[in-house]
Structure 1
Amino acid sequence: MVSVTTTSSAAFGALRAVPDPLDTLGAEALSEVARSATLAQNLAAATRLQAAYHLVQAMGRLDEATHDDGACPRPVFARLDPADRARDHLAAAMSLTGWHAGRLVTAGVQIHTRLPLLRKAVDRGLFPEQLAIDTACRLADIPDAIIAAVESEVIGALGRDLDGGHRPSRTALDTAVDAARERHDPRAAEDAVGAAVEQRTVRFRPGRDGMTSMWAHLPSSDAEKLRRRIEAAARAAHDRGHPRTRNQLRADALCALGDPNTDDIGSALHDPEDTTHHTDSAAGADGTEGAAGAAGADTPRPGASWGTDKPVRISIIDGIAQGLPNRVQFVNGAYASFDWLCEELLSGGEARVRFDLIDPQPGVQDTPDAVLKYFITPALAERIRLRDGTCRHPGCTVEAHDCEIDHIIAFDHQRPEMGGPTAEWNLICLCRKHHREKTFGHCAYRPGPLGELTIITETGHEHRTTPHGPLAQARDRILDHRWHQHLDRLITDDGHLTNPPGAHRPRPA
């Protein structure tokens, strides 16, 4: 766009004209510098969005030119979405997460194909980048039949707010879009509610210091029931003078919903030392089990672990041979320390635990016979997941245990000895989406000895990633330890450099 280039150049020219340092300027001049910088940033955002759109178009043309020769059309499963390919390229080129790159691509396509009013405002530098992306992605769900009317209302309202110096929040944006959609097509609004219910989910993210964050996306009615139940339990305990804070009581009430051994705020229902409830009083006079016993037959006994139907697998990465303590990694579950495990074991709970000792030496699972077979053993697959941690494509954060294990150099089924061995250095974790990108796309993939991966795009750019899983972290610590040992042997305490390292230091004449 010529207008974008001209205005952007003027804005950057104004910035270059500002004397240095800035602390010599007055308040009015500094305010103008900030406004010029903001305008330049918004115009740069317009260029990024335009580039994202054109990248999608280019990916589509490249895919058609490479594969669609007419005589032998490609099957549907081998076709890649140009928008997905553009997202992957931008994630690597701009150091973005896959989620942010995907929103950038969606916004670029929407702005340049369906949203002329938003495009005009963005090209003039009137919209901050994030607000423009949020607006475009939000309007992407509006049907074509009413998009013009809804866009007119929403962009008009946002423009008035921005002109008055007010940055609308994402909640305000959602409210404006929903209100406009409901006015112009009530049926579409009802359909959107039904579609949103299908997206309900709960996610857990392990954090530090033994804590885990939980995020939920629920229907409003169900969320309100949950909120009222949690709030009622916390308020009742607080009114009784419970020493915990209101926030702590809310958290405890939420946890208590799934624990049959606690009350509404997570306090134990039974004294662990009291065993009277295990007597035969629950049995009937005729020796048969009473009603109470029958009803509670499946109820875990006090102290039993709940929510652990699968064994807790704990991988111990062996570092003793390298002079380092073993590194503990909880593989299944969001358990961040030994505290939870010790409490379960000492309380007589039913938690099942399995310990696996992992040798950090690269390639210890590779054998001459195994590398010539396509089959990946469970032990080797687990080792790759421990090494990589997540999908190895730049910007992708899919957990390794939700990924597929793929050969970087394709396995040669006819002549396995010619390449593509099933060896640790030639295997990586890829989510289903990026596995298809590697199989049917146009990028080249090059492995490294310690799990490094270099991706060479069609444009000739190289993106190099390294694994960040617990096994890779343990190896990094081992390498650091060896390097410090080498320095200790090479340089004495008084700074004398010994060559070769460890040799006896000659006495001064």
Structure 2
Amino acid sequence: MFEDSATGALTAMIADSYRQESALIGRRLAAVAELLGRRTSEAEAEDPDCGYMIVTGLQRTSAEVAAAMNLSPGIASALVADAEALDSRFPKVMAVLMAGETDWRTVQIILKRTNLVRDPSVVAALDGRLSAGVGRWQSWSRKRVVDTVDAAVRALDPDAIRERESAEDKRHFDVVPVGDGTAKVDGTLDAESAVIVDERIASLARGVCPQDPRTLDQRRADAVAAMAKGLALACRCPACAGADTPTPTMGEACGARAVINVIADQFTVLGAGDKPGYLAGFGVVDAEVVRRMAERATLRVLTPPSVTPEQMKRYQPTAAVERFVRMRDLTCRFPGCDRPAERCDLDHTIPFNHVDPSSGGHTVADNLKCLCRQHHRLKTFHDGWRDLQLPDGTVVWTSPTGRVYRTAPGGVELFPRLGPPACVEPKPRRRNPSRERDRRIVRTREKNRALRPVNIAHRRLESARKHEIQNRKDGNRRRRTALLMARHRRSATPYLRWIDEPDQPEALPPDWRPPQGPDEPPF
């Protein structure tokens, strides 16, 4: 069928068919919900108190759906219940599914994680919030979707939080023999203890050399016994087989100290808010759990770290940069991957230039992201995948066939303060045009009052200067005219002595001032 199709066309076919499948599932669920409504109306018409009927509307619908889709009764009933919940509780999310902008797996997570919410106003608020963001979750892993939905539920419905916290009362730890020389270990722990145990087992499993013949699952299983005995996990490779049995160190004998990271809002830690936190390696935890762990924890303010020019030219990031990037991303940033950030490498989006570090690829938070070892190698050694990291931490991936995927950092999604400041629309300034006009008039009148005497003095001075220049020009002209008309030598007559005087300059110096008369006010 696809022998003559290009590779990019195959990828496009996969994506388009998945989108069409999601839209088709949405239409199917809408049809199931409509059928349920009609069968329920029929049952209510037969008996208003149809809850005690032998064959209810739900049972009638489930039977028809099971026959039409060749499903078992239990699966058909679950499908009808999901259709009813989606149609009555989350119509906006259902519209997104019918448009093919999300998938059925994500919608199932929403239905499952919100089944404890019963307040219609809270359900409506969740419907609006989740439908607005579900279209951006295309590249998210299942765990990340669960964390985001749980955070929204905890923020809007405290009663649902308390119901979920009651699950801690069911914690247990059982060892059940299975009869073939092994036993099954099963239990339920609180979130903090579970993360500590998991981290300790993982540390022991990683402590053997690479030549150990056991798989990772086998090493983790053997690490449980080593942890219980306070010993390091013994390596089983031929080179280490003859080594002495590991002896417990002081830290191992008393239990090694495990370091776990919790991200929470400042108001939650101080008891002024109930916004949930995030336990690294586990997921979203309630505010009370955060405060309980904060009582004996070292607190740090998680802010974008400052990096000196020398530090950004080093390949290894500083401890502050590494901590911020891991807490910002929470998981591997490749589309669909949910490996915890604590088990990921830090990748330079713009490759670090080992020859000339100052030319680019700096070791700063804006150029670093978490990638698990598998996807780190894929990005580094496969020329087909390209990535671009935006200032807000979003990574834009381009596949070998040219398809584009966007992954946003999980920490910013749960804690927006970890991201850059958002562009906030300026608030309109309250104005009163009438009062502003009155104030302008007052300022203008005051300015006129101050300038009036200055302008009067300036005009009088300019008038006096013009009058003085004109008088000098007139005097010089009369003198030259008198000399021209007198046909004799200049006489020493006292009445004509002014003729012998030199001409006056017809330009005045800048500091000239008119002479003051006895009765004239000073300028």
Give me the TM-score of the superposition, normalised by structure 2: 0.35
User: Which has the bigger relative contact order, CA under 8 A and spacing at least 6?
Assistant: 1
Give me the TM-score of the superposition, normalised by structure 1: 0.36
Considering only CA atoms, is the larger Rg found in Structure 1 or Structure 2? 2
